[in-house]
Amino acid sequence: MENNVILETEGLCKYWGGLKALDNLSLAFHDKQLHGIVGPNGAGKSTLLNMLCGHYKPTSGEIIYRGESISSIKPFEFARRGIGRSFQKTNIYTNATCLENCCVAVQRLMGGSFNFFRSRYSQKMLDDIATKALEKVGLAHRRDYIASQISYGEQRQLEIAMVLATSPALLLLDEPMAGMGHEESQLIINLLNTLKKEYCIVLVEHDMDAIFELSDQLTVMVDGQHLVTGSVDEVREDARVKEAYLGQGDEVY
Amino acid sequence: MLFKKRAERLFMWVFFPLALLMPMFLEQNEYYVNKLTTIMILSIFVMSLDYLVGKCGLITLGHAMFYGLGGYLFVILAPEYEAVNFWVYTFYICAISAAIALVIGLLVLRTSGIYMIMITLAFAQMTFYYFSGSIDYGGTDGVFVYVKPETSIFGLSLFDLDNPTHFYYLCLLSLFNTLLFFKVLVRSQFGRVVDAIQVNPGRTTALGYNIFVYKLMSYVVASALGAYAGYLFTLQYGFVNPSMLSWTTSGTALVMLILGGIGSIYGAILGTITYEGLHYTLEHWTEHWMLFMGGLIILMVMVFKKGIAGFLEDLLEKRDGK
């Protein structure tokens, strides 16, 4: 199991002034596994994701991707190395069709982005690959809809499709089910269950049922610190986790 | 299809044939031919600004810097009493302006919004004061162009630049090519990334694009074309002076752009015609033309929220819907 580690963090810290948003975090993420991250608000989950995709620079510590430190490379280079990211707030091109949204992603892989003259509308191969990404998340029927006109749940699916269209090795998903109804959540859960057979997924999610169902590895964070990492069952039984979530029971109310 | 909207196609079919025939209607009236030539030149300038502001979301108040540089580069480079080749100097001026834009862009594009407006303005004012104060380049009087370039390519001379009608057609051709170039650029794969950056820069970075490079290239291209417009202007009037570099030139271009419709490319022409038309009419009617002009512009911006181009598009689409 140790040999298929894709991404590691070593003593990762992020300070905002005096606030320790993330303190000395060392984690390993494995290929073809879904690694869930849970914790109360302010535990540093989003900060962690933002650093893993290059959005924030760590104050100290290393991010190691396939054995190479990538802590100091530029944000766009993270995506070029195969680290795909979906955001907590839906982050798509709302004025364009779903197909065009994915085409932007595919074009980055296929090249031609510095071509001043070749029309973007005559790229059959590019369109086909983008369509395949939409099919993968079950959005093929929305291909020619403007992204702002599809439902919120579908927009989240679209964002995942865009990330998949860059053919990443690693998916960082920040609360993909936030604000979704039960049925929509179930769609995403099914989708993630399929995707984790192919990709390494790091999932931050508040929906506990979903994360217990999906996770192969689960990390609990509290106040920017790592509390426990293990299988779902191990985490469920861990006394420290109960304490963090439920309190010690000796507070005076 | 390059021109997707009905309003665009209508514009192309009405404007260019009309502009092509215009000198025939005006026959010997040189004044109007010159006036229309200036409108063509300004349209090129405003169009290059539209690409920056409307398509790339880079709001600049220093675009006049390249307009003025186009003129000054010509008088700096060309020998005073010798006719140079127009096309060769077009290449020189565009290439040097592009190089200058590349260097300035590296600094300017690190900022955005109001800060970018301020920094572009600062660069433009620096060049403005440099040329107003320079003895070599005539200070505030500027420099005269005594000999206009000749336009032969492989021995074939199509335009005589001293002939206003010829010069008019050269500017019309330049405007047509600029419009076509920007339309192709917007539609291209490069244009796809530029669109993506304007709508959502964060997402575009997260997809692996180095958005700075795309902004820089857009800035360089638009600046070079702005300089080309300034070069034409200098050749038309036979002089260059610092007012071309002034921030009011940038400001006026922005007003023309807003009138015409930001981001529509062809709206730049509509805006320039409207502005210059109003200017001409009011100027001949009253001494206080600026007062009325200001009022009319406020009124037009309030009525045509997306500019004249946007208004036309809505009008034609509504008709389609029925």
A29-56 pLDDT tens trace: 999 999 999 988 888 898 999 999 998 9
| Domain covering A1-82+168-252, topology | Rossmann fold (3.40.50)
As a whole number of angstroms, the distance between CA B124 and CA B33 comes to 30
Q: How close does chain B come to A219, measured CA to CA in Å?
A: 25
pLDDT reported for residue B121: 96
In a domain, B73, yes or no: yes
Interface test with B, best of A120, A126, A172 (most B CBs within 10 A): A120
B51-88 pLDDT tens trace: 999 999 999 999 999 999 999 999 999 998 888 999 99
Q: Do A91 and B205 touch (CB under 8 A)?
A: no
B291 contacts chain A (CB < 8 A): no
Q: Where are the beta strands (DSSP E) in A39-143?
A: 60-65, 68-69, 83-86
Q: How close does chain A come to B21, measured CA to CA in Å?
A: 30
As a whole number of angstroms, the distance between CA B76 and CA A13 comes to 56
A212 contacts chain B (CB < 8 A): no
Q: Do A80 and B195 touch (CB under 8 A)?
A: no
Query: What residues in A contact B187, CB-CB < 8 Å?
Result: 119-121
Number of structural domains chain B divides into: 1
pLDDT reported for residue B25: 84
The answer to whether B44 touches B256, Cβ cutoff 8 Å, is no
In a domain, B1, yes or no: no
Instruction: State mean pLDDT over B163-176.
Output: 94
Report CA-CA distances (Å) from B88 to A206, B153, B170, B232: 65, 10, 15, 14
B242-294 pLDDT tens trace: 999 999 999 999 999 999 999 999 999 999 999 999 999 999 988 888 899 99
Taking Cα atoms as reference points, which of A70, A199, A75 lies closest to residue B204? A75
Percent of chain A with pLDDT over 90: 58
A69 contacts chain B (CB < 8 A): no
Query: What residues in B contact A162, CB-CB < 8 Å?
Result: 203, 207
Residue B91 CA to chain centroid, in angstroms?
A: 17
ipTM of the complex: 0.88
B192-250 pLDDT tens trace: 999 999 999 999 999 999 999 999 999 999 999 999 999 999 999 999 999 999 999 99
**pLDDT tier for residue A122 given thresholds of 50, 70 and 90:** confident
In a domain, B76, yes or no: yes
pLDDT reported for residue A1: 47
What domain range includes position B11?
6-321
Interior angle at CA A73, CA A170 and CA A156, nearest 5: 35
As a whole number of angstroms, the distance between CA B256 and CA B270 comes to 8
In a domain, B222, yes or no: yes
Interface test with A, best of B55, B195, B207, B218 (most A CBs within 10 A): B207
B1-29 pLDDT tens trace: 788 888 999 999 999 999 999 888 887 78
Instruction: State mean pLDDT over A120-134.
Output: 92
Taking Cα atoms as reference points, which of B35, B215, B254 lies closest to residue B109? B215
**What one-letter code names the amino acid at A198?**
E
> Would you list the domain boundaries of chain A?
1-82+168-252, 93-167
Q: Do A117 and B193 touch (CB under 8 A)?
A: no
Interface test with B, best of A89, A92, A104 (most B CBs within 10 A): A104
Interface test with B, best of A86, A92, A103, A116 (most B CBs within 10 A): A116
B263 contacts chain A (CB < 8 A): no
pLDDT for A249 beyond 70: no
Report CA-CA distances (Å) from A89 to A94, A156, A159, B180, B231: 13, 9, 10, 38, 48
B204 contacts chain A (CB < 8 A): yes
A103 contacts chain B (CB < 8 A): yes
pLDDT for A253 beyond 70: no
A157-180 pLDDT tens trace: 999 999 999 999 999 999 888 888
B207 contacts chain A (CB < 8 A): yes
Taking Cα atoms as reference points, which of B78, B99, B213 lies closest to residue B149? B78
Query: What is the average pLDDT score of chain A?
Result: 89
Q: Do B206 and A103 touch (CB under 8 A)?
A: no
Report CA-CA distances (Å) from A145 to A227, A238, B196: 44, 47, 17
